[in-house]
Structure 1
């Protein structure tokens, strides 16, 4: 009997020692968790809580680490968004103020009768161009804001992609010819029905063609459409100056301009808007280019949206 009592006492002491040890580890870990939470609260999102598989509070530690990683990611995105809006403000000050000041100057000269005859007509022509430039920028800006805020509403309906593409391209033929661009279009004659937002798809092609005319410095462009049961592939190429390897990964970023001197036309919104509109169709757009050898844009649109 005494032996069983002794063994029971030893076992009880062992259990008490084990529980005390566990409680000490938990208390130590809770103290560490408290310190980490205090650091995170003060803005240090790099802090993490280390936990072993046998730790009782390991799930709490994992959850705290996940919260810290998520918060850090959101903070990075917020800073990137703030930088994008700062670039937007810089672009606004240049892309609106400069042509607006010029427009006011031309109109004041006309109103004050400083110019007359053919020179007056030329001033009116330049003022008109400046007005269209501002209109184009404002339209891009509003579309960018709507896409960025998720307020853009799309209306997807069944359309013949080939017929729609031909109609869009037809409006560009005189523009290309006036810009001294040769062109070649290869669009299948067969019907290819898929769900499309007509306005968005029109804007996609318009932006890419305008980008070629404005920035490529080439004199020839092509558009080919390839189709199968799964997707349509639209390939648009030019023979212009191309895009440098440093700029190529960034051309679809908002407000990014390859001409960093800001002497080029454009506002860095067109290709960004194009990518967003392609994404709305569950598609992808990529660009390939070799400096001095032109650029190729490839759009993939799934048939089943």
Structure 2
């Protein structure tokens, strides 16, 4: 029984049972006790009057008890005459009541829930005893009806409370059982519920969680497959060309060619592992270390870092940078700029125009537009997926992680990144972030 009251079901039962029972019992109990006391006093007065009436008839009219009792109504109050010995066997008086009877010649016995009230009056050597008729006992009727009402109230409150607790905890128990299924790896489980209360909202959120876990499981499997594929290619190249280098009599030019390939594949493998580590850290990062700095100056600095790349292509820079002070994490935003600018430079044609616009309204908006081949409408929804490489990048040495990193960093700052492209003409990458980052 103790574990039940320590559970949420037991506590909820006690609270609801108390809230339901107390408003019913308090007025009922108050009415019972006040009314019972008033009725009991009235009955005691009637009993005293009855013994007084019989006594007057016996003394003043010199009638026997049998004759005197015929002159009074016996249906409501019974009056009997007993001897002292008989009185002791019929009634158990306390010492105080006995002393009151001896001193005053009469005593009122209040009675209990199981015993009727009495009024005893001494007349000579005998005693008159008046008590309510069992069939007309108003005190007993009030007592019994009140006890019945209290018992019925408790029973109704108990069953209503039990029903309410079962109704709520049954659904919570279903959630608990489903959670056990999830811990055992069953992400397909869904809890049916048609309610609209808080528990229904909890069930809806639980169902959404299982859907997200199921999707994450699929993504994890796809990610593992993609990683194994991406790692397999450079490792196989390194392994194959290293065996070729071990062949005797290999010409010098081929040796140098194989060494360059091994170096390129090693660099590719290094970049892949670095990006995976960086992306893993970003996935588990929720707090950024922000500081105020000039974002337009950071854009110019990123362009200087990539100067050799865009000058080799003889690109024309079309810059329109407003003076913008932001409160972001400078190092992470540097990674965003380098990724977006490197992509734009790589896909820009020789002698092309690289346009960069920085504005500030409600949010800070940076738009980088190149005149490359563009991205098809079918590929555009997937460009931010991890390891995704479109047709235009199949021959590149990328791994499809750059834009995933960009998206995660921008989201950490409370912003959004989008790509707009017209195949054969241009591609625009746009980031939009609150000036002070996430609220």
Q: Aligning the two structures, in what range does the TM-score lie when normalised by the shorter sequence?
A: 0.7 to 0.9
User: Cα–Cα, structure 1 residues 50 and 66, in superposed 2: closer, same or farther, change >3 Å?
Assistant: closer
1:165 aligns with 2:310: no
> Per the alignment, in what secondary structure is the counterpart of residue 96 of structure 1?
helix
Cα-to-partner distance string for 1:250-286 (whole Å, 9 max, x where unaligned): 3223344434997764333211110111223333211
From 284, 287, 290, give the equivalent of 1:149: 284
Render the CA deviation track for 1:127-167: whole Å, top value 9, x for unaligned: 1111111111111100111111227x743333222222112
Q: In structure 1, what is the Cα distance between the partners aligned to 2:392 and 2:207? A: 31
Question: Which of 256, 266, 271 is 1:131 aligned to?
Answer: 266
1:45 aligned onto 2:190: yes
Could you report, residue by residue, the CA deviation over 1:49-96 in whole angstroms, capped at 9, with x for unpaired residues? Answer: 547xxxxxxxxxx22212211111111221222222112111111111
2:310 maps to which of 166, 170, 176: 176
Change (3 A) 1:84 1:282: same
Decide whether aligned partners of structure 1 residues 162 and 114 sit closer, same or farther in structure 2, where only a CA change above 3 A counts: farther
Separation in structure 2 between the aligned mates of residue 262 and residue 80 of structure 1, nearest angstrom: 27
- How far apart, in 2, do the equivalents of 1:42 and 1:261 lie? 48
Q: Corresponding residue for 1:5?
A: none
TM-superposed CA distance for 1:118, in Å, is 1.8
Rounded Cα–Cα distance in structure 2 between residues aligned with 1:35 and 1:114? 80
Counterpart for residue 401 of structure 2: 269
- Report the more deviating stretch, 67-76 or 229-238: 229-238
Instruction: Answer whether contact 1:144 1:273 (CA < 8 A) is retained.
Output: yes
Q: Partner residue of 1:121?
A: 256
- Rg comparison, structure with higher value: 2
* Structure-2 residue corresponding to 1:76: 211
Q: Which moved more, 1:232-241 or 1:108-117?
A: 108-117
**Matches of 1:135 and 1:213, distance apart in 2:** 22
Residue 45 of structure 1 aligns to a residue whose secondary structure is coil
Q: What is the aligned length?
A: 289
Q: Are residues 88 and 32 of structure 1, via their aligned partners in 2, closer, same or farther at CA, if it must alter by over 3 Å? A: same
Give the superposition deviation at 1:24: 8.7
CA distance in 2, matches of 1:232, 1:63: 39
Say whether the 8 Å CA contact 2:348–2:370 is kept in structure 1: no
Query: How many Å separate the matches in 2 of 1:211 and 1:286?
Result: 14
Instruction: Give the gaps of 5 or more residues in structure 2.
Output: 1-151, 179-188
Pair 1:230–1:159, CA change in 2 (3 A) = same
Please show how residues 51-66 of structure 1 align to structure 2 within 5 Å.
62-66=197-201
Cα pair distance change 1:292/1:82, threshold 3 Å: same
2:345–2:370 contact (8 Å) kept in structure 1: no
Match of 1:235 among 367, 391, 394: 367
Question: Would you say 1:186 and 2:186 are equivalent positions?
Answer: no
The match for 1:3 is none
The residue that corresponds to 2:231 in the other structure is: 96
- Indicate how the Cα distance of structure 1 residues 217 and 106 shifts in structure 2: closer, same or farther if over 3 A, else same: farther
TM-score when normalising by structure 1:
0.76
Distance 2:232 2:377 in 1: 32
Q: Is residue 2:218 matched to residue 1:105?
A: no
* Greater relative contact order, per chain length (Cα 8 Å cut-off, separation 6+): 1
> Alpha carbons of 1:201 and 1:31: their partners in 2 closer, same or farther (altered >3 Å)?
closer
CA distance 1:29–1:253, shift in 2 (3 Å)? farther
User: Which residue does 1:286 correspond to in 2?
Assistant: 418
Task: Provide closer, same or farther for how the CA distance between residues 228 and 32 of structure 1 changes in structure 2, counting only shifts above 3 A.
Answer: closer
SS of the equivalent of 2:411 reads helix
Answer with 261-270 or 139-148: which moved more. Answer: 261-270
Note if 1:250 corresponds to 2:382.
yes
1:29 shift after superposition: 7.3
1:217 to 1:228, Cα distance in 2 relative to 1, 3 A: closer
